Structure 1
Amino acid sequence: MTGTVVKSTGSWYLVRETSTGKLHRCRLRGKFKNHDLKVSNPLAVGDQVDFTVEEQTEGAGVIHHIEPRRNYIIRRSVHKTEHAHIVAANLDLALLVVTLVSPATSFGFIDRFLVTAEAYGIPVQLIFNKVDLYDEDLNDYQNQIQKMYKRTGYDSLRCSAATGEGVAEVDALLDGRVTLLSGHSGVGKSTLINALVPDLDLKTAEISEFSDKGVHTTTFAEMLEVRPGTYLIDSPGIKELGLVDIPPAQLAHFFPEMRAMLNQCRYHNCRHVQEPGCAVREAVDKGRIALPRYDSYLSMLANDNNRG
């Protein structure tokens, strides 16, 4: 039988059978290769698999084949530094939930996520959550950030999961798609999902007053059915997002505003740092490339671990 992995705990997997929609608790048979990737999880939510149901255990199954992935979001493993972790696979859209307060999301984190999505051809939109907490200055600042990313090619929405502002617009983005909802711990993903799918009643937690950082409320990634044909993947909050398998020489290709002018640099192997005749640096100086985006690029380029 064929199916889709809808939940992964690392030791067993919940698979939705393609033909009937029935859920089967499955385990892996043997070792699986991930196209030469060193990963901490051989299977991810969203993976398409072949499995068989064991006669002696009603409803349980064994996964024996993973279909090639159309795309995926990947990050460095928190526990195994030499390994990567696949967050989710076979996505139509990724929504990155960011906040300017309680806790604030850094440009470095946003841009690392966008670079990862660009590398695997996954469309992304930014969701600015908790706008009910913004004062006039923060609203102006958020508007500037939104315009900066819009110029780069990324759309975004203002949202307050607490008051309901923007929730209908987020829901419209999901329609007919498999969408990953991601972000730092504490940005309000679970509250937003509860607003989108009230029957789920996901657990939420308060922000730590001491650290102003979020508390993990999602333990395992899970694909949730919003309505027939529309699925939302809820994933644990990400504290660090390290880039995986993106050579420094290729990094600029995943910044759309830089990619558009790479053939304008004097040297074909320009790193856009100190080289003379660099079209990217000239664009930064003239304001055509936003300085925060260029700073993110330099940070990724300089940081061997690509963490943010």
Structure 2
Amino acid sequence: MQATVYKSTGSWYVVKTATGETFQARMKGIFKKNDDITSTNPIAVGDVVEIVEDDSDANAKNAMITEIGPRKNYIVRSSPHGKNKKHIVAANMDQAMLVCTVKEPRTSQGFIDRFLVTAAAYHIPVILVFNKQDIFKEKETEKFEELEELYTNIGYQVLLISAAKGNGVDEVRALLKDKTTLMAGHSGVGKSSLINVLMPGLDLRTKAVSGWSGKGLHTTTSAEMYGLPFGGCLIDTPGVREFGIVDIPKAELSHYFLEMQPYITQCQFNNCLHINEPGCAVKVAVEEGHIDVDRYVSYATILETIEEEQY
């Protein structure tokens, strides 16, 4: 029997069949010994699995996961159990929605770029949603407009919303309809508030931003998928402070900065890293204003991180 993983709670998984039956499922021991699985979690939310119903307890809906189906895609981050290990955040999604803020707390451009690189590496389109429009003053509006122009020019869709006031939520709903979407972002950006607006009655816990640090407080502890009342599924992920790049060789990094792609083949050297090499078309594009300087700085910073992790 085929089912989709909606929640992982460690050794148990909540899975749902196409007919809507829900089971508490355990993983067959063989997966724990499979050398081909290098992540800290061999089964992720969004995985399509084969299950066998366990009828030993008539009062419980239990099952055993016997097989993991092939993944259309997946997205990973550094595992909390070690920076050299990877953790599969979710699998089999149509798109990702990164919820950002320019204030309370501020989402750094470095964080946004790391997420975009990871998503591009796994062929997942990203929509950038900037929340908390209701607390914007002139300074925040100007900052948002700068970021909107930057990422729109690269080819990303950018929205400005206020989950608290309901502004722009209809646009978000239209983009989510009939698709499986990963929703990510720092803690405190308002993911849970947005989901509560999209799914009245769900009542996810929300917390205010930590006053002394300006950083969000964690309210989601593990990824979980929800069926949207208007069609589609939403995968809510834990708020993460950092998004470590894993499984991306430094020679490939520039391929995932979409605006660099037209220039990569014009470099003098095939293995150009676009830092100190002569005849680099990417650096010329930066100097001529075709590639944003801050994006190039993000690229160089991420590249350095990859070098540190690899050597």
TMscore range, shorter length: over 0.9
Counterpart contact for 2:102–2:143, Cα < 8 Å: no
Per the TM alignment, residue 82 of structure 1 is displaced from its structure 2 partner at its CA by: 2.6
- Aligned partner (choices 296, 299, 305) of residue 297 of structure 1: 299
Matching residue of 1:47? 47
The 2-side partners of 1:74 and 1:81 are apart by 12
What SS is found at the alignment partner of 1:160? coil
Letter in 2 for 1:52: V
What SS is found at the alignment partner of 1:31? helix
Per the TM alignment, residue 35 of structure 1 is displaced from its structure 2 partner at its CA by: 8.2
Specify whether residues 228 and 100 from structure 1 end up closer, same or farther in structure 2 by C-alpha distance, changes over 3 A only. Answer: closer
Q: Do structure 1's residue 25 and structure 2's residue 8 form an aligned pair?
A: no
Per the TM alignment, residue 266 of structure 1 is displaced from its structure 2 partner at its CA by: 1.2
The 1-side partners of 2:186 and 2:36 are apart by 28
What SS is found at the alignment partner of 1:261? helix
Structure 1, unpaired ranges of 5+: none
The 2-side partners of 1:47 and 1:34 are apart by 17
- Aligned partner (choices 255, 270, 273) of residue 275 of structure 2: 273
Alignment of 1:83-102 (within 5 A): 83-102=85-104
Per the TM alignment, residue 286 of structure 1 is displaced from its structure 2 partner at its CA by: 1.1
Per the TM alignment, residue 36 of structure 1 is displaced from its structure 2 partner at its CA by: 3.6
The 1-side partners of 2:149 and 2:266 are apart by 25
Deviations 1:163-187 (A, max 9, x none): 1111111011001000011001111
The 2-side partners of 1:248 and 1:231 are apart by 34
- Matched residue count: 305
Q: Do structure 1's residue 61 and structure 2's residue 60 form an aligned pair?
A: no
The 1-side partners of 2:249 and 2:69 are apart by 26
Per the TM alignment, residue 73 of structure 1 is displaced from its structure 2 partner at its CA by: 1.1
Counterpart contact for 1:38–1:82, Cα < 8 Å: no
Q: CA RMSD in A?
A: 1.4
Matching residue of 2:165? 163
Deviations 1:130-177 (A, max 9, x none): 111111121122111111001111111001111111111101100100
Letter in 1 for 2:72: R
Q: Extract structure 1 runs of 4+ deviating beyond 6 A.
A: none
- Aligned partner (choices 219, 223, 226) of residue 224 of structure 1: 226
What SS is found at the alignment partner of 1:142? helix
Per the TM alignment, residue 34 of structure 1 is displaced from its structure 2 partner at its CA by: 7.5
The 2-side partners of 1:285 and 1:34 are apart by 49
Matching residue of 2:286? 284
Letter in 1 for 2:221: T
Q: Do structure 1's residue 142 and structure 2's residue 144 form an aligned pair?
A: yes
Counterpart contact for 2:38–2:86, Cα < 8 Å: yes
Per the TM alignment, residue 11 of structure 1 is displaced from its structure 2 partner at its CA by: 1.6
Letter in 1 for 2:29: G
The 2-side partners of 1:35 and 1:73 are apart by 20
Specify whether residues 21 and 153 from structure 1 end up closer, same or farther in structure 2 by C-alpha distance, changes over 3 A only. Answer: same
The 1-side partners of 2:201 and 2:221 are apart by 19
What SS is found at the alignment partner of 1:244? coil
